[in-house]
Each structure stands twice: as structure tokens, then as C-alpha cells.
Amino acid sequence: MRKYGVSVMLALMLYLMAPNVSAALEAEIAARAAALEDQVVAWRRDIHANPELSNREFRTAKLVAEHLTALGMEVQTGVAHTGVVGLLKGGLPGPVVALRADMDALPVVERTGLPYASTVRGEYEGKEVGVMHACGHDNHVAILMGTASVLTELREQIPGTIKFIFQPAEEGAPKGEEGGASLMIEEGVLENPTVSAIFGLHIGQQGLAGSASFRDRGFMASAQRFDVLIKGKQTHGARPWAGVDPVVVGSQIVNAWQTIVSRQIDITQAPAVVTVGSFHAGVRNNIVPETAELSGTIRTFDPQVREQIHVRLTRIATAIGKAQGAEVLVEIDEGVPVTYNHPRLTAKMAPTLRKVYGRDRVYVSGRVTGAEDFAFYQEKVPGFFFFIGGRPIDVLPEKAIPNHSPFFYIDESALVPGVKVMSQLAVDYLSMGGLEGQ
């Protein structure tokens, strides 16, 4: 009985002591993150002013690799073309967790007027384009660089290993190339050592700076790109009957596609979107061109709905082409799957978000029809993906600027909380012994 009583007493003492240790470490994370604010802002502005397109993130990768190397990490470069992976081994044994940030920018001409706005030009699909961090990946990189600094300073207190994944080509590799999360996985980013869970974030003006949102299970949509080539017959614009007009055929196809979601899919089961983003044909006003090209995106949350849309989109396009005497070729890529937050992992880690941001500033999100190739990691290991707010307090929700806009910007006060939450997620996950712990 005495031994039992001593054991109970010891367990009680350890239980009572644990919150104090945790609170002390939490305070240290917060203090170290706050001390890095100027550096994180400087990184972010430098990356923002020097954006790079998918699979071309050479300068960004060099910046990241040099930083991780200076911290004393094991660093691997050239993963999936330009990806960088840093490995931080804690001072105590434990599982392996991964933290991911995406590095690529978009072919967008920046119109924010910021003093560090991008003036970079690049090439995208054979065309000269402006290049801008219109999706906020510059913030993600700066946040994870700051997180690496914080956790390296706390290395001896970390029970496990942290893998920092700086990923290229989240927006999609250029046509004819491989890239992004799927290629990083193929090249072993989740192995040696084996990752047991992965965390990622995305910034946007959907929430105020200093807030966060998440959803368990299906969070962001599956997305596929489709490309359509319409082969008609060229003729003089004054004699359209002598040819087959691919512009008219394409117009009829685009119009008919609008009935897929509105009339052919049971949208009470799961939302879906079919959007045509580009329509190119011809070079002169009085020539009926030989070809037209359409390109767009499909967004779904259910595999069966996705398959139904693929079948209908192809059937409609080819049938209209046949009826008009044109040949229509449809290509639909594999795209990305649904961003699926593992339910148990989400339940375990949501309290960390509330701890960092406050209970009244963390929200459960609705479904998001945007897509994320973070979903590929989640197909392999449990993953938790969430949003952090970047909207300034003086911008009303209805005036929020969406990601991918040439006017997109963020309130930089969101950066330090981002460093805090990524650092705290890693420490909390490892401290509980991973998903199977506690």
C-alpha cells in the first residue's frame, strides 16, 4: 500500500508540474518569435520583391538553404528541382513531424503600389509575364524560416525530430514538367526519417490578421485542369460557310458546360465548380482561324462527382464539335485531391491554435473551393492544414482582396503569430508523443 501511495503521489506531482513546464516553453516560444519580427518581415519583403515561378525558385531556395545551414541543420537541396529540406534533431527521443511552406509565385503583374512591390518579369507557357507573390507564399516561407530559428534555439528541449519542407511548384509545374508536393514525395521527402504527421498553413484576407480557421476532414477542394483543342477549318471571315469556325464551336461548348453543375450534378450531396479560365483563337479580325483552345478548372469534394463531371465535360465538348464538323480533343489532368484534415490529428492540434490565437479568434471554416497540393502529403501521412488571417483591421470582410489578385497584400502583423503557431504545433505534437501518444 505504501508503494502504491508513493506512486500515486509521484504521478500527481508530475501531473501538477507538467503544465508549468509547458507554460514556460510556450512563453519562450512566444518571446523568441516576437524577437524575430523585424527579421521575418525583412525576409518576407525580400522574397516578395524577388518572386519566382514554379520550378524556378532558385534564389528563394538559396536563401532558405543558407539560413537552415547557418542554423546547423542537415540540409538537402534540389529536391523536386528547387525544394529545400532541413532536418532538426531534438535533444530528446521522439517521433518525426514535418512543417511545410510553399515557395512559388504566380504570373501576375503586381498593382499594390507597395515600396517592395515586384517588378520582376518572367516566362510562363511561352509568354512574357509579370511575376508576383499574389497567393502569399512569400509569407509562408518567411514564417517557416522564423520557425526554424525558434525551434533550433530550443533544440535541447524538443522530444523528437522536425523536418522543414520548403516546397516548389505548389501552383502547379509548367506544362510538360513534374513538380510540387507529389514529386517531393516521390523523391522521399517523407522518409529517412519517416514522418508521422505534417502541418501547413495558408495566409489570406479571408480572416483578420491575428486569427486562424480550420475544418476537419474535407477542407479544400480537389482540383483538375482541363485543356481543349478545337480543330476547325480556316477560311476568310467574309466566307464563313467555306470553313468550320472553332470560335463558334468553342463558344457553344463553354455555354453548354454551364449546365453540368446547374442541371446534371446533385449539388445537395457535394459542391462542384467548372470554370473556363482561358479561350484563345485567331490572330486577325477577318480570318476564321483553324483552331481554338480552351482551358479551365474543375473543383469537387467527392470522387464520384469528380468522375461524373469529367465524363460530362468530355461528352459535351466532343458531341458539339461533331455536330459542327470540328474535331475536339479534351485533356483532363490528375490534378490534386481533396485537402483532408485527419480527424484525430485535427482534434488534438486545434487546441494549439486556440492557445496561440485565443479561443475567440479561431474559427471552424466552411468548405473552400480553392485547392492545395498539400493534399498529396495528407494521402501519405496524417496532416493538418489551416488558414491564418492577413486582413488589416481597417478592411471590411466584403472588401477583402482575394489571393491571386494583382492587388493582394497582407497585414504583416500576421507573421509573428504564424511563427508562434507553427513552432507550438511542432512542440505540442512531439511532446504528446505523436498521434498515438497520450
The span from the CA of 16 to the CA of 222, in Å, is 45
**CA quadruple 297, 140, 122, 339: dihedral, nearest 10:** -20
The span from the CA of 169 to the CA of 263, in Å, is 35
Annotation says 153 is catalytic: no
Candidates 26, 104, 138, 428; catalytic one = 104
The span from the CA of 206 to the CA of 400, in Å, is 7
The span from the CA of 101 to the CA of 56, in Å, is 16
Candidates 170, 302, 373, 428; catalytic one = 170
Annotation says 170 is catalytic: yes
The cell for 312 is 460530362
Task: Using the structure block, give the residue that is written with the C-alpha cell 483563337.
Answer: 281
At position 342, the amino acid (one-letter code) is: H
Which residues form the catalytic set?
104, 170
